[in-house]
Amino acid sequence: MAKLGFLMAGACALVLAQASLAAPADQKANEAAFDAGVSSQDQMDWLKTMSSAPNHVGSPHDKANAEFILAKFKEWGWDAKIETFQVLYPTPISTTVEMVAPEKIVLGGQEPAVPGDDTSTNLAGALPPYVAFQGDGDVTGDLVYVNYGLPDDYKALERRGIDVKGKIVIARYGAGWRGLKPKLAQEHGAIGCIIYSDPQQDGYGDGDVYPKGGARPDFGVQRGSVADMTVYPGDPLTPGVGATADAKRLDRKDAVTILKIPVLPMSYGDASKLLSRLGGPLVAGGAQGGLPIAYHTGGDGKVQVHLAVKSEWSLKTVYDVIATLKGSQYPDQWVVRGNHHDGWVFGASDPLSGNVAMLSEAKALGGLWKQGWRPKRTIVYASWDAEEPMLLGSTEWAETHAAELKAKAVIYINTDGNGRGFLGAEGSHDFQHLVNSVAADVTDPQTGVSVAERSRAGVRVRAYDKIGQVSEAALAAAEKGGDLPIGALGSGSDYSAYLQHLGLPALNIGFGGEDESGGVYHSVYDSYHHFTTFDDPGLKYGAALSKTVGRLVLRVADSDTPPQRFGDFADTVSTYLTEVKKLAEDRRTEDRKREKLLTDKAFLLASDPTKPVAPVGAEAKTPHVELAALEDAVDHLKAAAAAYDSAYADKGGKLDQARRVKLNAQLRDIDQLLLDERGLPGRPWYKHMIYAPGRFTGYGAKTLPGVREAIEERRFDDANVYAGRTAKVLDAYAARLEAAKATIEGK
Amino acid sequence: MAKLGFLMAGACALVLAQASLAAPADQKANEAAFDAGVSSQDQMDWLKTMSSAPNHVGSPHDKANAEFILAKFKEWGWDAKIETFQVLYPTPISTTVEMVAPEKIVLGGQEPAVPGDDTSTNLAGALPPYVAFQGDGDVTGDLVYVNYGLPDDYKALERRGIDVKGKIVIARYGAGWRGLKPKLAQEHGAIGCIIYSDPQQDGYGDGDVYPKGGARPDFGVQRGSVADMTVYPGDPLTPGVGATADAKRLDRKDAVTILKIPVLPMSYGDASKLLSRLGGPLVAGGAQGGLPIAYHTGGDGKVQVHLAVKSEWSLKTVYDVIATLKGSQYPDQWVVRGNHHDGWVFGASDPLSGNVAMLSEAKALGGLWKQGWRPKRTIVYASWDAEEPMLLGSTEWAETHAAELKAKAVIYINTDGNGRGFLGAEGSHDFQHLVNSVAADVTDPQTGVSVAERSRAGVRVRAYDKIGQVSEAALAAAEKGGDLPIGALGSGSDYSAYLQHLGLPALNIGFGGEDESGGVYHSVYDSYHHFTTFDDPGLKYGAALSKTVGRLVLRVADSDTPPQRFGDFADTVSTYLTEVKKLAEDRRTEDRKREKLLTDKAFLLASDPTKPVAPVGAEAKTPHVELAALEDAVDHLKAAAAAYDSAYADKGGKLDQARRVKLNAQLRDIDQLLLDERGLPGRPWYKHMIYAPGRFTGYGAKTLPGVREAIEERRFDDANVYAGRTAKVLDAYAARLEAAKATIEGK
């Protein structure tokens, strides 16, 4: 569902100190045999078949794809089955959006056919543009342009005297997750919401539009889910438990993740007809988009819109394909790897490009199996259904099998849509070095160097050419040829339940940055034609993804002890704490400045009387947060991690079997110690104290979320409470490392 | 001609240590009487008359305006005359620009009438869109979009395999001065150049377009001069000497400031027809503008343009109005103050809004004179002609009267177009505190607080709201209620010859930031209607400008010793030196990074093979510059300035007349010590070692230019030479301050 925020993950393994995790010779041979089983042509064939018809949840082709995948797994020697769930999944009966004043113009409807894109010419059975889990309704009202529709946008509007009560808002995609826009509109009293793709970021501002290029054409629309996943993902009716046939379900009206107001997505071709007619003041500078007009806020009654959505709300069947290769030595230690198979329409890029890469891995692993190889640990592959409406297939499976997963799973490795370009990786930082080690051993299809080396070059050149933002840490690592940092996981794909609800370490992997899949994201044009023309011609990066993830799976499955490096995790958490302290200090400075500006009436004096902007509102001062215990815990973690890593590097290769078993047991669930069962404030489903999707960023991660978001949102009591809780989980983690070190040392 | 880069200048005078320059009681009374003579209604009447017909150089109405101004000065009791010069000034006989492939579309021509803008309906005698001092020619060629057409843009194009040899370039206005674009195009081998206004900065991206709002409509065109003023301004045929009737003149072909290739300006309505058809690769990210298309570089032969300009190159007569009020005590010490009167078409904002404010000052000073007041120093007011083609009127007068000006002038104070908003000030930093003191005593028309207080509020709010860029120094000063820094002078208005050629201290003053004059800059629509609707309704800021500049004139003219504070100059120069050292250090770091990137082939590895970007070119390493003497000189200056300021604060009020005369003589020409008669590298006309227009910024100032530009342009020998020369002038300046201090102390 989500595009990986494609920066680089990079690698090394040439530095001597890191050699301890490099692949041994027999593993190298096994990986070479694995690579021989990976075929871009296979992936192209499967992609063409699987993306040949609409494959959204409940569609015949989605079920057919699940059965196709099941058959393939079986053919390749896997123990495979389909598990089903019954989930709430609304599909539109009717969608209406039209301007009714100053003139009547009917908008919306299905996206048109595009010459050369064969599947776009036959949309029978395809979903029209809509967003799942909006609130059905039929409203007419004044239109207000709210820019990205995020909290700062409402503050800017308020200072300009614009409110949205009783009105319909139109927000552009971007800057924060889709679902936050109607949620915040609803909270501000709006009666409806339109979300459109602005061409500045997602249209001609991004390149030539489809079909000349890959960027979004003026009639392209982004579908998506607006279920409030910041509270919990998965089936809205079964929070925390699997949506099995006999599960206890909430009444739909009590499901807090379903919005209350009608919402529709829109193309910029349609949006321009509305935005060009808006009255009211000019927008604040940053809200001007890429349409050839001066953007206005509206809200003056000039433009009236009629918006109506009616959905069919029955339960639908979800088809998760689950396939297993049983471990020879540690059958009750599972390496879990998944990618979803449902799309919004044809879903060639999202998700099928990742799914066919996963199938290549499965075929190659099956080939090894047939040659007699047996993994030490059990390998579980999952092709999820119903990711698009809000991670339903993966979440319901995780909730159903929670106890077993917590008792057995070693890691969850996810992919989603894939494309041409650079390796991107996010996840649990104890596996950061493993990702880098693998990246050093996979060849980039375009340059012939390792994907790690290309990533480092990319980071350095982007910094030199001032393209985008490159973190100082990434640049420093790239320049010295070291491990590139991996990102933190927020949400937007199927890892969420495994990481944030169950506490498994997780990775999310993909290539991208040179593809143009963003231009057809969640539209009819995310097709085989677009994908093989603009995103990954020849699926060379599909094969690279298989080789990358295959290595991750093999190295975890076949290692004596899974290859974690805890110093990376400790250093990263230390960085997060530094950020949080800086955040609090910056807030205090800003608080002082704001108070003085208000006292001095500076906002009034600086405001243009012909375009008045009211002062910002007064705010409580940000106090100092009680961080001593958290600082101590981070120190504890750093010391324990360094000591463990050093002890393992010295003696980890020579453990006797009893100590090996004990050590593995100590480490297998160490990441689960990062959970606090009470969860985060207002959203107990999210239990991880280090990684969470942001309440106001959505897909974007917030790290040390209990503390960081409390400071950001001025919940200062929560900040103190969660500083303490976060300290506790880190202390427990550090203590476990100390115990594991003692095991290594025979104590 | 130039828009003041409107930041704020701010003020204080409440801080005790600064009280020494505050106006004494009798001066306050005199200033109140002066204010009573300033009338917004006068300014509106004069503006309407003067902007009623085209008033470019050589037009009947331009001459009529000079005569009108002359008559007014005489009516108000001034000793006034018109001085004429004979200057080269080309006017177009024919301008042709058309697309000839892939289809024929005729472009260009005069701007159309706009309903409600009366003067736009009668354009008899108006200049069509053109740029002065381009090179006549008739060319047809392939079109290349070069973004802003500055050095970095050519580097970006070169890395994408695009050159402009034998082609016509189209550059957008912005990021650097107009004339650099065709000059650099010519240097890169282009045969013609189009400069257009992109709507991202100058059109709907800036607000509602005229006549609904004040922003540039799609048919608006910016005229201007492209004479290469980075070498010298003024008449191209008479560098360094006045263009009197009998002056020795260069042959036109030998005048280096006249370009060799034909150039025309263009509206974005026309430019979109060309840009939307260009082939070639997509532009690099930053070159995408505000038209609703994906911008391409062109250069692939797809779009062919025919561009032809033929001009009439006779000498034209320039009418400078010079008016004097003779000083009673120091008649041979002159306060010179000017604003030009020629426009591109009607010129309501640029320059007449500033000229009518100057006339208000002249009327008010005339009123004081009639009441018996006599300034201690001689006041010289000048209404310049021919500023637009490249500061001709002011430069020729300065060159003609150079010896007398160097012997008598105390300061040159300039204004140009004015508008609603915040005070902007640039100039010689020994007068920074005077500007701040005056700003503390002038009331802002919209808020009722002083313009200084409003400026400080503006700086603080812009920083808080993250609008534009606010320097740390300005923010710190605004927060503590201190003097706001004034900017350095580059070029773009009539101060240039006085400051950079003659070495007089100079100030350039104006209000702006809330006007919309940028949207009609140098177009037919810079009209009375636009100005009184969108720029300064009621000319309230015209009156504020008169009160501000009037105070500056009065305080310099009537002071015992002109109110300079040398510590401000010393501190500012010290800041510049810090910047130059950082520049050199940053360059060395960049050099090292670039070399390593090239060695590692990182550019090749990071480049997208489908959109190849070649590595940057290798460059010589930036060596350490011999800055020791310059560092010592700055230390010397800081010590001498602090000592002088302190001595004057202690004893400056109690000097006997002999010492006063001696002191004034020592200080009157102190700024002239900042000249080196050999001038800057390759441009000996520019003699000032502290302030210059940038060779690659144009209007934008470069400070410590001999050193800074040499480092930027990798002329490392020049850097060492000019570090020494700059040190020498600063040492001389410091020594003069020491001598002046000795005078105060009776030594």
- The residues, ordered by sequence, that sit 6+ positions from B508 with a Cβ below 8 Å of its Cβ are B4, B414, B415, B416, B425, B426, B427, B489, B493, B495
With both helix axes pointing from N to C terminus, report the angle between A716-744 and A628-651 in degrees, rounded to the nearest 10. Answer: 20
Pairwise CB contact (< 8 Å): B215 & A593: no
Q: Report which DSSP code applies to A344.
A: S
A468 touches A461 (CB < 8 A): no
Residue B5 has pLDDT above 90, yes or no: no
CATH number of B22-89+316-447+488-564: 3.40.630.10
Architecture of domain A91-311: 3-Layer(bba) Sandwich (3.50)
Instruction: Report d(CA B410, CA B407) in Å as an integer.
Output: 9
Map tokens 């193309």 to a residue: A267
- Contact between B367 and B309 under an 8 Å Cβ cutoff? The reply is no
Q: What's the average model confidence in pLDDT over A455-467?
A: 96
Amino acid identity for residue B565 in this structure? R
Beta strands in A290-437 (DSSP E): 304-312, 315-325, 330-340, 377-384, 409-414, 421-427
Of A282, A593, A603, the CB nearest to B207: A282
Q: What is the dihedral sign for C-alpha A117, A123, A127, A129?
A: positive
Per-residue pLDDT band at B747 (split at 50, 70, 90): confident
Residue A19 has pLDDT above 80, yes or no: no
Residue A323 phi/psi, 5° resolution? Answer: -135, 145
List the single range of A111-125, A433-447, B17-31 with lowest mean pLDDT: B17-31
Q: Which residue has the tokens 């995948």?
A: A69
Q: Considering only CB atoms, which chain B residues are within 8 Å of A515? A: none
Question: For residue A117, which phi and psi values (nearest 5 degrees)?
Answer: -100, 95
Separation of CA B94 from chain center? 30
Residues of chain A positioned with their CB less than 8 A from the CB of B209: 294
Residue B10: predicted pLDDT:
32
Residue B454 · residue A605 · CB < 8 Å? yes
Q: Are strands B79-88 and B315-325 parallel, antiparallel or unpaired?
A: antiparallel
CB-based contact A606 B199, cutoff 8 Å: no
Cα→Cα distances A423→A38, A350, A467, Å: 18, 17, 17
Strands B421-427 and B506-513: antiparallel
Q: Residue A285: what pLDDT? A: 81
Percent of chain B with pLDDT over 70: 97
What tokens appear for B741 in the block? 């201090």
Residue B15 has pLDDT above 50, yes or no: no
Separation between Cα atoms, residue B674 and residue B621, nearest integer Å: 31
- CA of A517, closest CA in chain B: separation in Å? 15
Strands (DSSP E) found in A182-270: 192-196, 224-225, 263-266
CB contact under 8 A, B602 and A460: yes
Cis bond upstream, residue B128 (ω within 30)? no
Using an 8 Å Cβ cutoff, are B477 and B58 in contact? no
- A282: nearest CA partner in chain B: B207
What's B567-744's CATH class? Answer: mainly alpha
How many Cα neighbours within 13 Å face the side chain of B641? 24
Chain A CA closest to residue B455:
A606
Q: Tokens 């949840």 appear where? A: A57
Category of A261 on φ-ψ map: left (φ > 0), alpha (ψ -120 to 50) or beta = beta
Structure tokens at A22: 């490099």
Taking one residue from A and the other from B, the number of pairs with CB-CB distance under 8 angstroms is 114
Cβ atoms within 10 Å of B476's Cβ, excluding its own: 12
Q: Rounded to two decimals, what is the model's pTM?
A: 0.95
* CA A6-A51-A401 angle, 5° bins: 70
Angle at B198 between CA B196 and CA B201, to 5 degrees: 130
Q: How long is chain B?
A: 747
How many other CB atoms sit within 10 Å of the CB of residue A88? 23
Q: For position B13, what pLDDT does the model report?
A: 29
Residue with tokens 């699926």: A539
Instruction: Compute the nearest-CA separation of A544 from chain B (Å).
Output: 16
Instruction: Calculate how close chain B gets to A604, using CA atoms only, in Å.
Output: 8
Burial A405-417 (b: 16+ CB within 10 A, else e): beebbbbbbbbbb
pLDDT of residue A617: 93
How much is the average pLDDT of A152-170?
A: 97
In angstroms, rounded to a whole number, what is the distance separating the alpha carbons of residues A71 and A63? 12
Q: What is the amino acid identity at position A438?
A: V
Average pLDDT estimate for B694-705? 95
Residue B285 pLDDT class (50, 70, 90 cuts): confident
Average pLDDT on B515-530 reads: 98
Contact B423, B439 (CB under 8 A): yes
Enumerate the residues of chain B whose CB falls inside 8 A of the CB of residue A205.
288, 294
Angle, to 10 degrees, between the axis of helix B540-558 and the axis of helix B432-439? 130
Rounded Cα distance between A395 and A231, Å, is 13
Short-list A587, A666, A527, A504, CA closest to A123: A527
Q: Which ipTM value was assigned to this complex?
A: 0.94
pLDDT for B69-125, tens place per residue?
A: 999 999 999 999 999 999 999 999 999 999 999 999 999 999 999 999 999 999 999
The sign of the dihedral angle between the CA atoms of B236, B238, B241, B247 is negative
**For residue range A716-743, what is the model confidence (pLDDT) as tens digits?**
999 999 999 999 999 999 999 999 999 9
Cβ–Cβ gap B292/A290 under 8 Å: yes
Distance CA B579, CA B488 (A): 14
3-state SS class at B572: helix
The bridge status of strand B192-196 relative to strand B168-172 is parallel
Is the per-residue pLDDT at A15 higher than 50? no
Q: How far apart are the first and last CA of chain B?
A: 47
**Nearest C-alpha of chain A: how many angstroms from B442?**
15
Q: What is the pLDDT of residue B11?
A: 30
Q: Quote the CA–CA distance of B410 and B502 in Å, as a whole number.
A: 11
Instruction: Give the residue among A321, A549, A573, A332 at the shortest CA–CA distance from A425.
Output: A549
Judged against a pLDDT cut of 90, whether residue A354 lies above it is answered with yes
pLDDT bracket for residue B24 (50, 70, 90): low
Structure tokens belonging to residue A560: 């004596």
pLDDT at A747: 82
Q: Distance (Å, rounded) from C-alpha A528 to C-alpha A537?
A: 10
Q: Quick check: B50 and B65 in contact, CB under 8 A?
A: yes
Q: For residues A18 and A34, what is the distance between their CA atoms, to the nearest angstrom?
A: 24
Mutation for testing the A interface, residue in B200, B460, B466 having most A CBs under 10 Å? B460
Identity of the residue numbered B516: E
Residue type, B145: Y
Rounded Cα–Cα distance for residues B545 and B43 (Å):
11
d(CA A160, CA B578): 41
Q: Which CATH code for domain A16-89+316-561? A: 3.40.630.10
Encode pLDDT of B405-460 as tens digits.
999 999 999 999 999 999 999 999 999 999 999 999 999 999 999 999 999 999 99
The predicted pLDDT at position A24 comes to 64
Per-residue burial over B342-367, b if 16 or more Cβ lie within 10 Å, else e, is: bbbbbbbbbbbbbbbbbbbbbbbbbb
**Would you state the pLDDT for residue B400?**
98
Taking residue A434's Cβ as centre, other Cβ atoms within 10 Å add up to 27
Burial of B372 (0-12, 13-18, 19+ CB in 10 A): exposed
- Residue A196 tokens read as 């459109």
Please provide the average confidence, as pLDDT, over all residues in chain B: 95
DSSP track, B235-277: -TTSTTS---TT-----GGG-TTS-SS-EEEE-HHHHHHHHTT
- Assess whether the previous peptide bond of B351 is cis (omega < 30° from 0): yes
Alpha-carbon gap: A382 to the closest alpha carbon of chain B (Å): 33
3-state class of A476 per DSSP? helix
DSSP-assigned letter for residue B401: T
Residue A205 scores a pLDDT above 80: yes
Tokens of B75: 């009516």
- Is B428 strand, coil or helix? coil
Q: Which of B294, B461, B604 sits opposite A204 (nearest CB)?
A: B294
Q: How far apart are CA B689 and CA B703, in angstroms?
A: 8
Domain B91-312: give its CATH architecture.
3-Layer(bba) Sandwich (3.50)
pLDDT value of position A2: 55
- Beta-ladder partners of B683: B680
A39-94 tens-digit pLDDT: 999 999 999 999 999 999 999 999 999 999 999 999 999 999 999 999 999 999 99
Q: Domain limits of chain A?
A: 16-89+316-561, 91-311, 567-744
The amino acid at residue A659 is R
Nearest residue in chain A measured CA to CA from B421: A608
Contact call for B290 and A292, based on CB within 8 A: yes
Per-residue pLDDT at A26? 87
Q: What's the pLDDT tens digit per position in A373-390?
A: 999 999 999 999 999 999
Residues with Cβ within 8 Å of residue B401, at least 6 apart in sequence: B242
Measured between alpha carbons, how far is B546 from B549 in angstroms, rounded to an integer?
Answer: 5
Could you report the per-residue pLDDT of A295-345, keeping only the tens digit for each?
A: 999 999 999 999 999 999 999 999 999 999 999 999 999 999 999 999 999
Question: How far, rounded to the nearest angstrom, does the alpha carbon of residue B310 sit from its chain's CA centroid?
Answer: 29
Q: Is residue B606 within 8 Å of residue A462, measured between CB atoms?
A: yes
